[in-house]
């Protein structure tokens, strides 16, 4: 979507939901995340060790799953997000294994207008499922989204103080 096609705060409604495309979690993703973060716990990287755990094989980092979910939500629907404000009640319900396919459902839970409609806070329910429909992660995220009033208050590029193009 082009930026002008992106949804504003005003365009989303409580109860609306979106389902993302799918994303396969690869072993390379897990190794790369371990390298990036320094989290080289053997449960993620050592097959022999992982066989001694309840999962019997390596699992992806929980925060890798969360990061992938974040990316999937951003690419699902173009929203004019100005800031990520936080996570609430995030739960890791089931392991994510190399080769799992993740999909994310996001639902608008709440909206609150800020700064005279120039932006608003949106509270989202986020659910991450694997290829078997098992809920592997879930929680609530909060974002700040641009409102249509912000667009109206901006002058077009190349215009003079009257708003008329030069």
CATH number of the domain bearing residue 41: 3.10.129.10
Residue 160 lies in a domain: no
Q: What pLDDT sits at residue 5?
A: 81
Q: How far is residue 162 from each of residues 47, 149, 152, 165, measured CA to CA in Å?
A: 67, 18, 14, 9
Does some domain include residue 125? yes
**69 domain-assigned:** yes
Q: Would the pLDDT of 90 be above 50?
A: yes
How large a percentage of the chain has pLDDT more than 90?
A: 81
Q: What is the pTM of this model?
A: 0.86
Predicted confidence band of residue 45 (pLDDT cuts 50, 70, 90): very high
| Three-state DSSP class for residue 69 | helix
Residue 157 falls inside a structural domain: no
Q: Is residue 158 assigned to a domain?
A: no
What does the pLDDT read at residue 155? 55
Residue 159 lies inside a defined structural domain of this protein: no
Q: Residue 89: inside a domain, yes or no? A: yes
Tell me, yes or no, whether 124 lies in a domain. Answer: yes
Question: Range of 17's domain?
Answer: 3-152
Distance of alpha carbon 11 from alpha carbon 22, whole angstroms: 25
Sequence-distant (6+) residues with CB within 8 A of 14 are 108, 109, 110, 111
Query: Number of structural domains, the chain?
Result: 1
Residue pLDDT, tens place only, 52-81: 999 999 999 999 999 999 999 988 888 999
């Amino acid at each position: 979507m082009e930026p002008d096609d992106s949804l504003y705060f005003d365009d989303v409604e409580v109860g609306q939901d979106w389902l993302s495309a799918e994303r396969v979690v690869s072993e390379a993703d897990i190794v790369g995340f371990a390298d990036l973060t320094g989290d080289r716990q053997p449960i993620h990287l050592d097959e022999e060790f992982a066989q001694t755990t309840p999962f019997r094989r390596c699992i992806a980092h929980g925060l890798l799953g969360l990061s992938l979910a974040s990316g999937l939500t951003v690419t699902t629907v173009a929203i004019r997000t100005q800031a990520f404000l936080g996570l609430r009640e995030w739960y890791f319900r089931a392991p994510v294994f190399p080769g799992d396919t993740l999909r994310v459902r996001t639902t608008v839970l709440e909206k609150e207008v800020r700064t005279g409609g120039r932006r608003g806070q949106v509270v989202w329910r986020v659910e991450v499922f694997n290829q078997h429909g098992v809920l592997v992660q879930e929680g609530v995220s909060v974002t700040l989204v641009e409102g249509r009033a912000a667009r109206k208050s901006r002058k077009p590029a190349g215009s003079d103080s009257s708003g008329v193009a030069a």
